[in-house]
Structure 1
């Protein structure tokens, strides 16, 4: 169902707002209201005495018009005439209905309007107040501007054509995610334009055929020509790029720039590197084009029914696209959108990158659990049943889909048994590992999960090695509760490391990140949503280090004997459990009061004169020794 819209016709007194509104009301067959009719008597008396209204005078009047708009929007479209001269006034009028407001600015010169004003009779506002209106006027950035020099019928025709023909949001790229997001936006009532390139003989009429395939896209405009696509959008144009990260994104931006105008907004919804997002932001800023990097998680289905969305960039620019992103996002337990402003520059893509790093580990841990349960003599159906029983204590999206995967049959066998054991990746795990090294944060599990995938890819070498090293994993005898406990232990460490990495990036790049809010938007719509993520929301309100929280400390203490047992048995029985093993190794290293790093520092001083500090010197002075 399409959302209703309110058309605010603005401009200084005497520009013809009421006349145009009446004509437009008849043409579009929708009601109109003159804002002047809603002034309190105190405002009318003040203006009649020749005294300009101040902001306090106008505030209550603007709130009244906002409430009028909200009431009307429940049933129909409408037109409201209001001078709305200041940006702050328009913000009050927009409040709560931003994505349903269309602004029309009737503009003219002082002399032009003064001549008109002097011809009016029986109006409470005298012509000597006109200069104060021009002095007050702050030209809107996102309004359709019409010159009042045209005759009224032509003005109305231009406005009607603008409102009818222009889409409010554009999607560039109709891959899996682009198509799902387009349908999501259309289902929420937004009028959109979609674009996809054409390749003769291979990809033809992609956008048009996509529009024809879904009823909700009936009012969508479909294009294969970039200029026509850009021109179909209201200004400032809001264009979301759903293309492959890397050089393709830069090529698309290059193709779009000639057709864009100052103030237009490009939104990169792909898995771009956060450093490239910063570069693109700076480059486009020099061309007066706004740029927002948006992380989108949830896959094809999530993008359609509600993903988790992580936008980063200039906050004022974000506010211009906020209604669209929040409308299509998943909703949390309190029905709030799983979309929040992350921070400046490439922070949105950074947070999405770390989300993917946490995802790598969660997937690897489930793969290791599968290996352990298989070594205990269980077939895929039995493993699925065991994992199903874990939902009460450790439910998550990835646990749920793993259960479905294990139950899927292909003929007489389980499909998982027929899948080649080579895990691919698209680069985000690699970027996260590089980032954690650059920032000096010990996200060791993400690196372990990444290298486990890399190792898996050497299938031919592994086949050769399995014959020549004679390492044959033997059956395991473990308590199922211990396996669950080990899994929960490793997941806590994974979330600590991922969140800590985000926190370190925030400090390094001066991003003001709200970690609790980030956890909240990860509670639905995304790949790493889980019951544990919900637990982290209040914890992260008090500290960015979840290992300082009493609840987490007590959990890890209770779970540690189990992971010690599981990891040691895996090693003794020659079974790989890289992330389970690394999680306990990390906590052992993290919690030891006196580590072996003193040896390393002595070695560094020996060969490189890098100096060291002494435990018996409270001054913090650095020392050097001639070790020979």
Structure 2
């Protein structure tokens, strides 16, 4: 393609002979009325071009053995018509040159119905494509042909990545550091996102073998078959849009990997839709943040096992390594199970973060300790059984100052969230699993969002706490340890129920293993769960009675202090309530069932009836 006079007919004919396929000149598809217009110096309008472009597209689709077409195709909407339904086997070659060079050529042309005077209007109309092969015409036709054939050689890139945000860039560098030849794509947005992939590649030495694209067709054409494309784009509509665009270019047996935080039901829907086209789909959770993505994340892929086998060498190479040197990446299971466990991972993460925030609140607002002193306490905790990534970053961030002020005293107390906590809460409600600490952590964030209301209420009532008692740090440590155990038990029970309900066949011990490094919730506790979860999802059953009794009393002590001090600590209280409900026989649901039967005749079962029969009572 290109403006009149760029040499597209000459070069196109030469290329067709080189490829041993037919050559078609776009000029030959013009109806006589169009030819008459152009001969009179009248530019064609879009209505004039519609049928002309459609006739070439029809001819292209019929050319099963291939063909070369020469056409001006000055606007993107014209090119869309030309390329409609052509898949990834159609190449666009743009012959580019300056107005001065082409004008000189036009002046020398004879027996052609395009007057040179129309060249300016063509340049004014031209929308330069940001994809395809761009070939300079400031050389002889033979060298132009050589440039084209060199760039159309067999694809050399083995793995593709779409989306160069923070996580995408880190994963790309991780893949490159493991010796993989990459094709990197980032969308084109004039003025804000231009040549993102190319500039990124030029920034890092490890990407020297990578190729950057901002056109999807060229990106796909650069990949070896079966193509493997890793998506790191925003979850939701953006993911659907990119998959739709990709699916028109990919072939049967190619694999798309969605590494975003997609809802597991969307993952299952996308997998089914792509399967109809013969394209394989893997939904994978990726945890570890920017640093983890670069140095080694925890990766949770699921879907078609044959698809996983095609991508396993890449994902397992870049994953973090557990204490035995094995990659923190495993085939999780069928369907959307990979994204499901990533969702629960994030839910556990919510509660772990909230527990630490509550530990800070007790030590700061009840015991009156400075952030620096609290940091020292937490750093000591991190040397033992409580060690975790989140505990580590918490004691580190507590030391940070801006001038003479601690950063934690400057940061506005309004916590954000990206939706996975609410998804986990919705799932636990659907499955009937009481993962109460996750929902408590989520609601704590929601409450924090209403800062204006909280400030107004505090100012109006100005309640004071009198006779405040100091918390024993050892009690707080034990309480925190037990609450964390409850959080993990609830999370894994939710995964176990989902596995059973959706018939995924998940291996909880293996999930714990890939969460021991690379991910946000990695910890010493997670290491112990690998063996524990081989036998039971009830982590409490593996506890020593005396140890549990001591920790439970400490949790009661901390709960009492928090309540009496007016400190919000929903996750510690939720853990205590869960333990009270499970460790003591103080039933309350019998009253609920009686109430339901009283007003709605919903019936109830009896403790003295072994057959499970339902009963109804006339209460008045």
TM-score interval, normalised by the smaller of the two chains: 0.7 to 0.9
Asked if 1 retains the 8 angstrom alpha-carbon contact of 2:155 and 2:221, the reply is no
CA deviation profile, 1:132-171 (whole Å, cap 9, x unmatched)? xxxxxxxxxxxxxxxxxxxxxxxxxxxx999974211100
Matched position secondary structure for 2:416: coil
Q: Residue 472 and residue 428 in structure 1: after superposition, are their counterparts in 2 closer, same or farther (change >3 A)?
A: farther
Please give the secondary structure, in 2, of the residue aligned with 1:500: helix
**Residue in structure 2 matched with residue 504 of structure 1 by the alignment:** 497
Q: Tell whether the 8 Å contact from 1:331 to 1:337 is kept in structure 2 after alignment.
A: yes
Check the 8 A contact 2:320/2:518 in 1, yes or no.
yes
Query: More deviation in 528-537 or 540-549?
Result: 540-549
1:261 corresponds to 2:251: yes
* Alignment match, 1:448: 440
The structure with more radius of gyration: 2
Change (3 A) 1:623 1:178: same
In structure 2, distance between residues paired with 1:174 and 1:435 = 31
1:572 is the counterpart of 2:572: no
Correspondence list, 1:329-348, <5 A: 329-348=319-338
Q: Is the contact between residue 297 and residue 517 of structure 2 (CA under 8 Å) also seen in structure 1?
A: yes
1:485-511 deviations in Å (ceiling 9; x for gaps) = 111111000000000000000010011
Deviation at 1:300, TM superposition (A): 0.2
The aligned counterpart of 1:488 is 481
Secondary structure of 1:615's aligned partner: coil
Contact residue 295 and residue 349 of structure 1 kept, 8 A: yes
CA offset at residue 513 of structure 1? 0.6
Inter-CA distance 215–164: structure 2 relative to 1 (3 Å threshold): farther
Pick which of 479-488 and 449-458 moved more. 479-488
**Structure 2 contact 416–445 (Cα < 8 Å) conserved:** yes
1:381 and 2:350 matched: no
Residues 572 and 219 (structure 1), Cα distance of their counterparts in 2 relative to 1, 3 Å cut: same
Paired residue for 2:266? 276
2:613 is aligned to: 621
SS of the equivalent of 2:385 reads: helix
Does structure 1 residue 471 correspond to structure 2 residue 463? yes
Please name the residue that 2:360 is paired with: 370
Among 278, 288, 313, the alignment partner of 1:298 is 288
CA distance, structure 2, for counterparts of residue 164 and residue 282 of structure 1: 31
Q: Distance in 2 between matches of 1:511 and 1:590?
A: 28
Say which of 417, 432, 438 aligns to 2:424: 432
Q: Does 2:192 align with 1:189?
A: no
Equivalence map 1:110-129=2 (5 Å)? none
C-alpha separation in 1, matches of 2:314 and 2:398: 37
Paired residue secondary structure (1:441): coil
Could you tell me how far apart the structure 2 residues matched to 1:472 and 1:576 are? Answer: 15
Deviations 1:505-556 (A, max 9, x none): 00100111100000000000000000010011111111122122244x5542
Alignment of structure 1 residues 208-607 onto 2, 5 Å:
208-375=198-365, 376-391=367-382, 392-472=384-464, 475-551=468-544, 554-607=546-599
1:75-114 equivalent positions in 2, closer than 5 A: none
CA contact (8 A) 2:437 2:487 kept: yes
> Distance between the aligned counterparts of 1:485 and 1:212, measured in 2?
51
- State the Cα distance separating 1:265 from its structure 2 match: 0.6
Contact 1:471 1:574 in 2 (8 A): no
In 2, Cα distance between equivalents of 1:619 and 1:599: 21
SS in 2 for 1:334: coil
Q: Separation in 2 of the partners of 1:223 and 1:301?
A: 25
Distance apart, 1:259 and its partner CA: 0.8
Is the 1:372–1:476 Cα contact (8 Å) retained in structure 2?
no
**Separation in 2, partners of 1:163, 1:496:** 55
- What displacement does 1:412 show? 1.1
Structure 1 range deviating more: 569-578 or 501-510:
569-578
The whole-number CA distance in structure 2 between the counterparts of 1:532 and 1:555 is 15
SS where residue 191 of structure 2 aligns?
Answer: coil
Identify the range of structure 1 (462-471 vs 515-524) with the bigger mean alpha-carbon deviation.
Answer: 462-471
**SS of match in other structure, 1:394:** coil
For 1:554 and 1:328, locate their aligned partners in 2 and report how far apart those are by CA, in whole Å. 43
1:473, 1:575 within 8 Å by CA — same for their partners in 2? no
Over the aligned positions, Cα root-mean-square deviation in angstroms equals: 1.7
**In structure 2, C-alpha distance between the alignment counterparts of 1:550 and 1:207, rounded to whole Å:** 52
Could you say what secondary structure the match of 1:291 adopts? strand
Q: Secondary structure at the match of 1:267?
A: strand
Report the Cα distance in structure 2 between the residues aligned to 1:188 and 1:625, rounded to whole angstroms: 70
Deviation at 1:481, TM superposition (A): 0.4
Superposed CA deviations along residues 36-58 of structure 1, whole A, max 9, x for unmatched, are xxxxxxxxxxxxxxxxxxxxxxx
Please report how far the alpha carbon of residue 316 of structure 1 lies from its aligned counterpart in structure 2 after TM superposition: 1.3
For residue 377 of structure 2, give the secondary structure of its aligned residue in structure 1: helix
What residue in structure 1 maps to residue 56 of structure 2? none
CA distance in 1, matches of 2:460, 2:207: 59
**Which deviates further from its counterpart, 330-339 or 284-293?**
284-293
SS at match of 1:233: coil
SS in 2 for 1:612: coil
**Structure 1 unaligned spans of 5+:** 1-159
Deviations 1:17-70 (A, max 9, x none): xxxxxxxxxxxxxxxxxxxxxxxxxxxxxxxxxxxxxxxxxxxxxxxxxxxxxx
Q: CA deviation at 1:421?
A: 0.4
Instruction: Quote the residue 2:72 is aligned against.
Output: none
Q: Distance in 1 between matches of 2:363 and 2:218?
A: 57
Gaps of 5+ in 2: 1-149
